[in-house]
A = this chain, B = another copy of it.
Amino acid sequence: MPSSTVENYLKRIYLEEQADPGAAVVSMKNLAGAMGVTPGTATSMAKSLADSRFVAYEPYGGVKLTARGRTLALRILRRHRLIECFLVEALGLDWSEVHDEAESLEHAISDKLLDRIDEFLGFPSVDPHGDPIPTAAGEVRQTLLTALTDVEEGADVRIARILDQDEKFLRFVDRHRLRPGTRGRVLAHDHAAEAVTIQSGKLPAVTMGRTAAAKIMVEIVKG
Contacts and interface: CB of A to CB of B under 8 A. Distances in A.
Interface of A: 87, 90-93, 97, 100-101, 104-105, 107-110, 112-113, 116-117, 120
Report the copy number of this chain in the oligomer: 2
B104 A116 contact: no
B108 A120 contact: no
A104 B108 contact: yes
19 contacts: A90-B90, A90-B120, A91-B113, A91-B116, A91-B117, A93-B113, A97-B112, A100-B110, A101-B109, A101-B110, A101-B112, A101-B113, A104-B109, A104-B110, A105-B105, A105-B108, A105-B109, A107-B108, A108-B108
Contacts of A97: 112
A113 B87 contact: yes
Contacts of A101: 109-110, 112-113
A190 B140 CA distance: 63
A136 to B, nearest CB: 17
List the 7 closest A-B pairs by CB distance, nearest first: A108-B108, A104-B108, A91-B116, A105-B108, A101-B113, A101-B110, A90-B90
A157 to B, nearest CB: 33
Contacts of A117: 91
Contacts of A113: 87, 91, 93, 101
Nearest to A107: B108
A91 B108 contact: no
Nearest to A113: B101
Contacts of A92: 116
A206 to B, nearest CB: 29
A9 to B, nearest CB: 18
Given A104-B108, A104-B109, 17 more contacts: A87-B113, A90-B90, A91-B113, A91-B116, A91-B120, A92-B116, A93-B113, A93-B116, A97-B112, A100-B110, A101-B109, A101-B112, A101-B113, A105-B108, A105-B109, A107-B108, A108-B108
